[in-house]
């Protein structure tokens, strides 16, 4: 339906001005089918690519609600690199997996990784070139900055999107699981939340199975590149020497 969405030479975003009647009919029927066969009343989707498609979805479903998770860029980039490494290893061991990921439209990680072009072709090509030249951390830092600037811009400009979106910082969720889960259920309008909150909240904590394996210089590089975008989501990620100055 949207053949340009993974072409880094094109703007990959979908906003409220997009019109694709064939897709819209298919998508509505698909969601109705899933709700019907599962006996549900609401459709819940977790999809990273939707961060650049929320305005289009909101134009199709004005009562839609979005939960946008964000995380300190150092930890987030460490997690992204970890996932990318795992995908690359899996695809090297099974080359057919690359074709499968291409068919299903997943280019976030792996041997055919492609950044989302949020409308700045120069920035997108810079990110690709950094990755191609082995500058993984720097590339991910610029990608993090680009995407989060895009999101902050859209939430500022589009008041309907801002109202429909709950920004959930990972660190806040870990610090107050019950309170933040309650806010999530209130925002989404999902009923009978308390038993779920009581069961899930005690299981939420900071990860103990990995830590960012970055040098001090790499951490400072990430913080320097992401500083302005991160501040727009309430993070103070200035390099240590800048904070102490």
Q: Assess contact for 118 and 146: CB atoms under 8 A.
A: yes
Domain boundaries defined on the chain: 21-244
CATH 3.40.50 holds for 21-244: yes
Structure tokens of 80? 């992204």
Instruction: List pLDDT tens digits, range 3-56.
Output: 899 999 999 999 999 999 999 999 999 999 999 999 999 999 999 999 999 999
The residue ranges of the chain whose pLDDT is under 50 are 243-245
Q: For the residues of 6-66, what is the DSSP string, one character each?
A: T-TTS-----TT---HHHHHHHHHHHHHHHHHTT-S------GGGGGTHHHHHHH-TT--E
Closest by CA to 10, choosing from 125, 169, 97, 100, is 125
Q: What is the DSSP letter of 134?
A: T
What was the pLDDT predicted at 102?
92
Contacts of 106 (CB under 8 A, 6+ apart): none
Closest by CA to 233, choosing from 161, 157, 164, 168, is 168
What was the pLDDT predicted at 244?
45
What was the pLDDT predicted at 12?
95
Q: The pTM is what?
A: 0.91
Q: Which residues pair with 94 in a beta bridge?
A: none
């Amino acid at each position: 339906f949207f053949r340009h969405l993974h072409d880094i030479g094109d703007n990959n975003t979908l906003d409220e001005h997009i019109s694709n009647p064939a897709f819209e009919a298919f998508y509505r029927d698909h969601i109705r089918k899933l709700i019907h066969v599962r006996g549900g009343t609401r459709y819940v989707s977790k999809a990273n690519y939707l961060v650049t498609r929320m305005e289009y979805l909101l134009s199709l479903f004005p009562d839609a609600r979005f939960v946008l998770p964000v995380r300190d860029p150092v930890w987030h980039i460490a997690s992204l690199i970890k996932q990318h490494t795992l995908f690359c290893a899996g695809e090297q061991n099974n080359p057919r997996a690359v074709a499968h990921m291409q068919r299903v439209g997943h280019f976030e990680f792996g041997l055919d990784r492609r950044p989302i072009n949020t409308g700045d072709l120069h920035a997108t090509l810079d990110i690709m070139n950094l990755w191609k030249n082995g500058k993984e951390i720097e590339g991910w830092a610029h990608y993090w900055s680009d995407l989060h600037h895009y999101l902050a811009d859209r939430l500022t400009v589009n008041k309907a999107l801002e109202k429909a979106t709950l920004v959930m910082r990972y660190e806040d969720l870990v610090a107050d699981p019950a309170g933040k889960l309650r806010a999530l259920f209130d925002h989404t309008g999902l009923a009978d939340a308390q038993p779920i909150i009581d069961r899930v909240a005690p299981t939420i904590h900071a990860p103990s199975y990995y830590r960012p394996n970055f040098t001090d210089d790499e951490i400072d590089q990430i913080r320097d590149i992401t500083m302005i975008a991160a501040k727009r989501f309430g993070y103070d990620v200035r390099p240590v020497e800048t904070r102490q100055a």
